[in-house]
A and B are shown apart, each in its own frame.
Chain A
Amino acid sequence: QVQLVQSGAEVKKPGSSVRVSCKAFGGTFSSYSISWVRQAPGQGPEWMGRIIPLLDISNYAQKFQGRVTITADKSTTTAYMALSSLRSEDTAVYYCAAQYCSGVNCPNYFDHWGQGTLVTVSS
C-alpha cells in the first residue's frame, strides 16, 4: 500500500508560482499514476492533472493548461505540481492522489491520498 506525504503549507503573492511535492512510501512508484486534485474552501474537489511515472506522460485539465506542470522523480519516488501566475482564486488545499495501474492502464479514480497542502494566495 502506497502512502503519500506532501510538503507543507505555502503563502504566495498574486502572480507568483508555487511547487508542492508528494513523496510516495511503500508500493512501487512506477506502478501508480499520481494526480493532483485541489479543493477550494467549501467546494467540491477539482482534478488538475496527472502523471504516469512509468511512461513519464502528463495530462492536464483544460482549465489549467499552460499554468500547471506535473512531474515525477522516480529516483526519489516524489511527484511535483507547479502552478504559476497565482491568483486569489487559487487559494485551496492541494492533494496528490494515487491509483494503481494495471500495466499502462490507470483508472482515473483515487485510492490513495496525501494529507493535503494549503496554498494561500494573498497580497
Chain B
Amino acid sequence: DIRMTQSPSTLSASVGDRVTITCRASQSVSNWLAWYQQKPGEAPKLLIYEASNLKSEVPSRFSGSGSGTEFTLTISGLQPDDFATYYCQQYNSYSPPCTFGQGTKLEIK
C-alpha cells in the first residue's frame, strides 16, 4: 500500500496567519490527492480533490498544490473555524484502495 506522511503532526498558529501542511507519498500518486478537515465528533469534510481542485462552497482561503509525491495544503488568513485536524488521502484515480495520512492538528497559538 502507498504510505502517506504528513508534516507537521501539530501546528500552532494565530487567526490571520498563513499556514502550510505537507503530505508526502511513498510513491507517485500523480495528482490523485484529496484534503479533508475534521473537527472533534464530526465526520471528515472534503476540501480539495485532484490535488488543487477546491470543492464548491469551500472558502477560497484554502488551496492545494503538488503532484507526484509531494503536496501542500495552504490556508491563507486563518479563521477561528479553521482550527481542526487535516488529513490528506491518495486515491489512485477511480480504483481502490486508498490511504490517508496520519493527520495534522491545527491549534490556536
* A interface list, Cβ under 8 A from B: 35, 43-47, 49-50, 59, 61-62, 95, 97, 105-111, 113-116
User: A115 touches which one: B1, B43, B95 (CB < 8 A)?
Assistant: B43
Closest to B55 in A: A111
Closest 10 CB pairs of A and B: A113-B43, A108-B91, A109-B34, A59-B96, A45-B100, A44-B100, A44-B102, A105-B94, A108-B98, A109-B91
Closest to A116 in B: B43
Closest to B48 in A: A109
* B interface list, Cβ under 8 A from A: 1, 34, 36, 43-46, 49, 55, 87, 89, 91-103
User: A107 touches which one: B43, B45, B94 (CB < 8 A)?
Assistant: B94
User: B43 touches which one: A35, A61, A62, A114 (CB < 8 A)?
Assistant: A114
- Would A46 and B100 count as touching, CB distance under 8 A? yes
Interface centre among A43, A105, A109, A110 (most CB of B within 10 A): A109
The DSSP consensus for interface residues of chain B is: loop
Closest to B92 in A: A108
User: Contacts of B45 on A, CB cut-off 8 Å?
Assistant: 113
Further 6 A-B residue pairs, CB within 8 A, beyond A108-B96, A108-B97: A43-B102, A47-B96, A109-B89, A109-B91, A114-B43, A116-B43
B92 to chain A minimum Cβ distance, whole angstroms, is: 7
A9 to chain B minimum Cβ distance, whole angstroms, is: 13
User: B99 touches which one: A43, A47, A49 (CB < 8 A)?
Assistant: A47
Closest to A47 in B: B98
A107 and B93 in contact (CB under 8 A), knowing A113-B44, A115-B43?
Answer: yes
User: A108 touches which one: B36, B87, B94, B101 (CB < 8 A)?
Assistant: B94
Closest to A4 in B: B43
CA distance A37 to B49 in the complex (A): 17
- Would B103 and A44 count as touching, CB distance under 8 A? yes
User: Contacts of B94 on A, CB cut-off 8 Å?
Assistant: 105-108
CA distance A47 to B44 in the complex (A): 13
User: Contacts of B1 on A, CB cut-off 8 Å?
Assistant: 62
